[in-house]
Amino acid sequence: MAGAAPLATLVAPPAFAGNDYVFNTHGVAINGYDPVAYFTESKPVQGMMKHAVKWEGAMWVFSSMHNAEIFMGNPRAYAPKYGGYCAYAMSKGAVATTEPDAWTIHKDRLYLNYNTTVRSVWQEDMPGNIALANGFWPSALM
């Protein structure tokens, strides 16, 4: 939809005393990268504010309006697990930021990590690490 206004939704995320529900920098989720592009282009792609969508208390930016529309059709399918915080840290009950190049898609879910070294450790036992992280999410944010 050329020239369409940015999509927006006001879904209120759960309130947490410590960290925001979604990893963000100045309100922009996952370092301003397009979560849909990880699936469609198999790489991190910088988003643009003109294709921004508010979801779960943060602005998500996309490389195209098409990707923003795909995301809003099923945001939980494209948003990274654990709010975009480091999946490996979450498996230890901790919260850590992430880097766009440290990503993995496993069983149709996007996981982000602190850096590529941590990603390598995460990938050594993804099923085990996912099970551990699921046990800590979202309580580790407090």
Mean pLDDT of 13-31: 78
Among candidate residues 59, 82, 87, 85, the one with its CA nearest the CA of residue 72: 59
Cα→Cα distances 64→7, 23, 61, 73, 139, Å: 12, 21, 9, 15, 33
The DSSP symbol for 33 reads B
User: Which pLDDT does position 7 carry in this prediction?
Assistant: 36
Confidence of residue 18 (pLDDT cuts 50, 70, 90): low
pTM above 0.85, yes or no: yes
What tens digit of pLDDT does each residue of 40-95 get?
999 999 999 999 999 999 999 999 999 999 999 999 999 999 999 999 999 999 99
Reading the block at residue 23, the tokens are 């990893």
Reading the block at residue 80, the tokens are 């990274």
Total residues found in the chain within this entry: 142
Q: Parse the chain into domains and list their residue ranges.
A: 24-141
